[in-house]
Amino acid sequence: MSGGMLYGGDEIGALVFDPGHHSLRVGYAQEDTPKAEIPAVVGVASDDVKTEPEIKPEENNVSSTPSSNKYYIDTTFLHLPKPNMELHSYMKDGMIENWDLFEQILDYSYEKIIQSESHFHPVLFSESPWNQRQKREKLTELMFEKYKVPAFFLVKNAALAAFANGRATALVIDSGATHTSAVPVLDGYVITNAVVKSPLGGDLLVLRAREMLESIGVDLTPAALIASKEVIREKEKPKFTKKKFNFQPTNSWMTYMVKRTVQDFQQTVLQVSENPYDEKVAMNIPAVQYEFPTGYHQDFGPERFKLAEGLFDHPMLGAGYIASTSAGMCDVDIRPALYSSVVLTGGNSLVQGFSDRLSRDLSSRTPGSMRLKMIAANGTVERRFGAWVGGSILASIGTFQQMWVSAQEYQECGKAQIDRKCP
Amino acid sequence: MASGVTVSDICKTTYEEIKKDKKHRYVIFFIKDERQIDVEEIGSRDEEYDSFLQKLQAGGAGECRYGLFDFEYMHQCQGTSESSKKQKLFLMSWCPDTAKVKKKMLYSSSFDALKKSLVGVQKYIQATDLSEASQEAVEEKLRSTDRQ
Ligand SMILES: Nc1ncnc2c1ncn2[C@@H]1O[C@H](COP(=O)(O)OP(=O)(O)O)[C@@H](O)[C@H]1O
């Protein structure tokens, strides 16, 4: 594609990337939702049969991954098992960890999702509040050097979520796949030394749910392996046939697919009770029926609540606890403003009952002189994609165009310019 | 991180007219053309809080605004029977739940620019509904920093 005519046009759309452990959200600024949500794992298959093993790349040109690797990205490709395909996450601790895999994801995003060349579009990235300086600079370098973006910007995801909820000052509670964090934002800037995070997120629920399901003998064979199934009565042994493959799917693929299976169960069935879990209360709430990919189905009663309780009942890591700890680490003067602006975001905050329970737990921890106000967008899109939506709007505001780190600035001042312009 | 929206000079001069000369009771600000914060409405000295609230919401449920108000209340010093009149300026960002995300984003990410331009405001209030913007709620917030 020739880009000549694009240069003449004035409006070149900026792109917004919001990387998480569960997925990468990517799309055009100004749109209401991301164009794609790409799972944050990459399938890597190394070909055992190397046909031309003797061709060596130029010495100074050696890429760290052998050229024989094949990469599989996005749901359709990931869900189909392939011989030797191992799944790897490129995120760790809320930050990009494996840059080779991440570049694969970026290549894919430009080619398949955006379907345009990277040097045309300014790029805004969200990042976790504790992202490290070296990683921020590395990303900046990557975007300017490899992808030749005309302009770049990095914003803390918590600040974006606060803004998208109408608050410049807020205590942002972000519950994602691998962790839940409490992040104080003051006038649009994260107070980094008062961020508190816990490893209790969606993945914990998946883990607990999986243990419970396995303990009662539920077959968790993922839909991708099922060829056909029969309609059966409740709790009856499932009758299904498996798809035939002439190879054994890898363990990492199986683990991931089972996780996706349980994730669906978790999202449909689990609920946080409004008060600390009490079996007697939970018994009286109508059970929920769930059907697994095998066709097996049964009702789930008190377990629904018991499993979700793990997000809140931990004395040091429960969501209410980390929220009040974080507020307590901030200056006394701003605490009232934080308690009166608790913004809830992240996919895991959509577990039924999450916001009511957080509100209850937090109100018992709110100092008497202060008022608690929780702000949680009603729409699931705003909640799951809070940071992306914030970035999408920010990058499209006319006056924001002067805030970008331009390619020219990068050339003149180097990658450290990101620390100056996007603290 | 901020939107880059600027503050027009008229905002600052109107603010000074309230702060120094007590010429008006309140000002409503809006963001013009997504570029600059401007004065939309000025309330005369004898207007009540209710009219401020009305003007703040005049754009409808989908709109955001900023409001500055010169608030007066009686303060009783503890242990004495004397009470004195207190005056405090507060600056409010009004972003109702019903507003489009785009508006919320624009107004919240530009609030800091306005805060920095209006020097000497005693209290900043972020409001999404009347439980935060009502006269009682505001008075409670203003009193909370008074010495007992
Ligand atoms: N509707 C829902 N109900 C319950 N949990 C959900 C829902 N949607 C997403 N989740 C959970 O939210 C987590 C992902 O949240 P997200 O904020 O996207 O995480 P990350 O930023 O780490 O990618 C996953 O654990 C997923 O199961």
Concatenate the DSSP letters of all residues of chain B into one string: -----EE-HHHHHHHHHHHTT--EEEEEEEEETTTEEEEEEEEETT--HHHHHHHHTTT-TT--EEEEEEEEEEEEPTTSS-EEEEEEEEEEEE--TTS-HHHHHHHHTTHHHHHHHSTT--EEEEESSHHHHSHHHHHHHHHTTS--
> Do A138 and A33 share a domain, yes or no?
yes
The residue in chain A having the minimum alpha-carbon distance to the alpha carbon of residue B114 is A187
Statement: residue B114 has pLDDT above 80:
yes
**Residues A3-62: pLDDT tens digits?**
333 333 345 799 999 999 999 999 999 999 999 999 999 999 987 544 444 444 444 444
Q: For the residues A195-221, what does the mean pLDDT come to?
A: 97
- The closest alpha carbon to B94, from B69, B125, B72, belongs to B125
Of all protein residues, the one whose alpha carbon is nearest to atom 25 of ligand 1 is: A202
Q: And the tokens for A338? A: 């934080």
Q: Quick one: A125 and A188 in the same domain?
A: no
Pocket of ligand 1 contains residue A94 by CB under 6 Å: no
Q: Using the 8-state DSSP alphabet, how is residue A114 labeled?
A: I
Beta bridge partners of B36: B6, B32
Q: Please give the distance, rounded to the nearest whole angstrom, from the Cα atom of residue A14 to the centre of ligand 1.
A: 26
Q: Select the residue of B35, B95, B124 nearest A166 (Cβ to Cβ).
A: B95
Q: Name the 3-class secondary structure at A121.
A: coil
pLDDT at A17: 98
Say whether both A31 and A154 belong to one domain: yes
Q: How many CB atoms lie within 10 A of CB A48?
A: 8
Closest atom of ligand 1 to CA, residue A157 = 21
ipTM for the whole predicted complex goes beyond 0.90: yes
First vs last Cα of chain A: how many Å apart? 36
At residue A82 the predicted structure's pLDDT band, cuts being 50, 70 and 90, is: very high
pTM of the predicted structure, to 2 decimals: 0.93
Which of A55-59, A359-363, A409-413 is least confident? Answer: A55-59
- My answer on whether A349 and A330 are in the same domain is yes
Residue A306 belongs to some domain of the structure:
yes
CB contact under 8 A, B109 and A188: yes
**Is residue B59's pLDDT more than 90?**
yes
**Looking at chain A, which residue has its C-alpha nearest residue B111?**
A168
Taking only the tens place, the pLDDT of each residue in A216-260 is 999 999 999 999 999 999 999 999 999 999 999 999 999 999 999
Who's near A346: CB < 8 A, 6+ residues apart?
A173, A174, A175, A176, A180, A201, A383, A384, A386
A334: alpha, beta or left, given left = phi > 0 and alpha = psi -120 to 50?
alpha
Residues A31, A129 within the same domain: yes
Q: Is A166's CB within 8 Å of B109's CB?
A: no
Q: What is the pLDDT of residue B147?
A: 67
In the numeric block, which tokens belong to residue B63? 């709109």
CB contacts < 8 A, A to B, total 97
Pairing status of strand A23-28 against strand A405-406: unpaired
In a domain, A348, yes or no: yes
The answer to the question of residue A90 being in a domain is no
What the block records as the tokens of A154 is 């990095």
Residue A175 Cβ inside 6 Å of ligand 1? The answer reads no
Task: Return the amino acid letter for A181.
Answer: S
CB count in 10 Å sphere of residue A421: 16
The CATH number of the domain holding residue A298 is 3.90.640.10
Regarding the beta carbon of A268 and ligand 1, being less than 6 Å apart is answered no
Q: ∠ at Cα A300 (A299, A302), nearest 5°?
A: 140
Ligand 1 centroid, distance to A184 Cα (angstroms) = 21
**A91, A93, A94, A100 alpha-carbon torsion, rounded to 10°:** -20
For A294, the domain range is 202-311
| φ, ψ of residue A28 in degrees (nearest 5) | -85, 140
Instruction: Name the domain boundary from A294, A311, A328.
Output: A311
Query: Ligand 1, from A206, A352, A384, A388: best to mutate by most atoms within 8 Å of Cβ?
Result: A384
d(CA A414, CA A412): 6
Expressed in angstroms and rounded, the spacing between residue A384 Cα and the centre of ligand 1 is 7
- Closest-lying ligand 1 atom to the alpha carbon of residue A348: 12
Q: Which of A127, A155, A160, A163 to mutate to test the interface with B (most CBs of B within 10 A)?
A: A163
Q: Is the CB of A176 under 6 A from ligand 1?
A: yes
Query: What pLDDT was estimated at residue B148?
Result: 55
Ligand 1 binding pocket includes A198 (Cβ within 6 Å) = no
- Per-residue CA distances from A245 to A221, A226, A248 (Å): 15, 11, 7
Residue A92 lies in a domain: no
Contact between B126 and A403 using a beta-carbon 8 Å cutoff: no
Q: Residue A340 maps to which CATH number?
A: 3.30.420.40
Q: Hey, what are B10's tokens?
A: 């008229």
Same domain, A273 and A148: no
- Rama region for B116: left / alpha / beta (φ>0; ψ in -120 to 50; rest): alpha
Length of chain B counted residue by residue = 148
Picking from A9-18, A57-66, A138-147, A205-214, which range would have the lowest pLDDT averaged per residue?
A: A57-66
Q: Do A215 and A280 fall into the same domain?
A: yes
Q: Is A28 strand, coil or helix?
A: strand
Joined together, the tokens standing for residue A132 give 């490290």
Q: How far apart are the first and last CA of chain B?
A: 37
Q: What is the DSSP letter of A150?
A: S
Buried b (16+ CB within 10 A) or exposed e, A160-193: bbbbbbbbbbbbbbbbbbbbbbbbbbbbbbbbee
Distance A236 CA to ligand 1 centre (A): 31
CA neighbours closer than 13 Å in the CB half-sphere of residue A75: 8
Q: Are the beta carbons of A248 and A82 closer than 8 angstroms?
A: no
Instruction: Decide if A52 is inside a domain.
Output: no
Q: How far is CA A343 from CA A159, A176, B40, in A?
A: 10, 14, 29
Residues A324 and A180 in one domain: yes
Structural domain count of chain A: 3
A296, amino acid identity: Y
pLDDT at A65 over 80: no
Would you say the CB of residue A212 lies under 6 angstroms from ligand 1? no
pLDDT at A55: 45
pLDDT band at A272 (very low <50, low <70, confident <90, very high): very high
**Residues in CB range of A216: below 8 A, 6 or more apart:** none
- Write out chain A residues lying below 8 Å of B141, CB-based: 336
* A68 — pLDDT class (breaks 50, 70, 90): confident
A174 and A208 share one domain: no
Mutation site for B-interface testing, chosen from A126, A372, A393 by largest number of B Cβ within 10 Å: A393
Q: Give A409's contacts (C-beta < 8 A, 6+ positions apart).
A: A417, A421
Q: Could you tell me which residues of chain A have a Cβ less than 8 Å from any Cβ in chain B?
A: 32, 155-156, 159, 162-169, 187-189, 336-337, 340-341, 369, 371, 373, 375, 377, 382, 389-390, 393-394, 397-403, 422
Helix spans in A236-353 (H): 251-269, 279-283, 303-308, 319-328, 335-339
Do the beta carbons of residue B10 and residue B35 sit within 8 Å? no
Cross-strand partners of B24: B44
Instruction: Give the Å distance between the CA of A349 and the centre of ligand 1.
Output: 7
Please give the number of the atom of ligand 1 that sits closest to the Cα of A22: 23
Q: Give domain status of residue A49, yes or no.
A: no
A227 and A303 share a domain? yes
Residue at which a domain ends, from A269, A294, A311: A311
DSSP tag of A243: P
Do A281 and A343 belong together in one domain? no
In a domain, A175, yes or no: yes
Q: Are A167 and B95 within 8 A, CB to CB? A: yes
* Residue at A89 is within a domain: no
Indicate whether A414 and A270 sit together in one domain.
no
pLDDT over threshold 90, residue A133:
yes
What average pLDDT is seen over chain A? 92
- Predicted local distance difference test score (pLDDT) of residue A170: 98
End residue of a domain, out of A280, A311, A342: A311
Ligand 1 centroid vs A385 CA: distance in angstroms? 10
